[in-house]
């Protein structure tokens, strides 16, 4: 009986050790090059977004926000996955609410268009395609998942120490659904 119990303990221990090893990913060798192609050069226009930012938001009165409001917050931008993607993580707060957001940026070399996905703590999720204007340092985003009879877009002016994002959407009858400006300044 004692031999069976000892054998059972050894088998269970081996299974636990093997299971742990299988569930924990191997640490990649940082000295190896990444698989695949290098990051697209076009993404360098968004390189200024990397870093720490202080944010001021202003919602002007609209159908979605009758009174308007302001908020302050922070953004952190960082490269992901061999610099093929850029992520902005943000938090904001006013006297009445707080919010969180994640924005992912990429460049689609096949379509020759920038890509942007925004996810926010209020449930907002958008997907956009963008065009870069080098002379104006401006990205113009076309939101792909707009409701029918809604027009508008997002523009971002990107410089080394400042980001200005303007959001403006109107219904077909001309009424303003959303009118927001975000100003981000690089933390010193």
pLDDT of residue 138: 94
Question: Over its length of 188 residues, how does the chain's per-residue pLDDT go in tens digits?
Answer: 444 433 334 343 444 444 444 455 556 677 788 888 888 899 999 999 999 999 999 999 999 888 889 999 999 999 999 899 999 999 999 888 899 999 999 999 999 999 999 999 989 999 999 999 999 999 999 999 898 999 999 999 999 999 999 999 999 999 999 999 999 999 98
Q: What angle do CA 150, 152, 156 make, to 5 degrees?
A: 150
d(CA 109, CA 118): 20
Return the pLDDT at 4. 45
pLDDT for residue 26: 58
Taken as a whole, the chain contains a residue count of: 188
From CA 187, how far away is CA 74, in angstroms rounded? 9
How many C-beta atoms lie closer than 10 Å to residue 62's C-beta? 18
CB neighbour class for 41 (10 Å; exposed up to 12, middle 13-18, buried from 19): exposed
Structural tokens at position 172:
């077909």
Q: Which pLDDT score, from 0 to 100, does residue 5 have?
A: 39
> What is the bridge-based pairing of β-strands 85-93 and 113-120?
unpaired
Domains, in order of start, for the chain: 41-186 (2.40.128.20)
């Amino acid at each position: 009986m004692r031999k069976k119990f000892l054998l059972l303990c050894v088998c269970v221990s081996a299974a636990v050790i093997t299971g742990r090893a299988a569930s924990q990913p191997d640490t990649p060798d940082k000295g190896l090059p990444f698989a695949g192609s290098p990051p697209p050069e076009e993404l360098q226009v968004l390189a200024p977004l990397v870093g720490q930012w202080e944010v001021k938001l202003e919602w002007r009165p609209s159908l979605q926000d009758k009174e308007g409001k302001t908020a302050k917050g922070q953004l952190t931008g960082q490269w992901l996955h061999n610099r093929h993607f850029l992520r902005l993580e943000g938090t904001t707060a006013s006297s009445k609410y707080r919010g969180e957001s994640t924005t992912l940026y990429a460049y689609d070399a096949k379509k020759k268009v920038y890509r942007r996905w925004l996810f926010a703590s209020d449930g907002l999720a958008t997907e956009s395609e963008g065009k870069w204007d080098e002379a104006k340092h401006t990205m113009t985003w076309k939101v792909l998942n707009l409701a029918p009879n809604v027009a508008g877009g997002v523009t971002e002016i990107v410089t080394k120490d400042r980001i200005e994002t303007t959001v403006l959407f109107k219904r077909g009858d001309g009424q303003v659904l959303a009118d927001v400006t975000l100003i981000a300044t690089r933390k010193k």
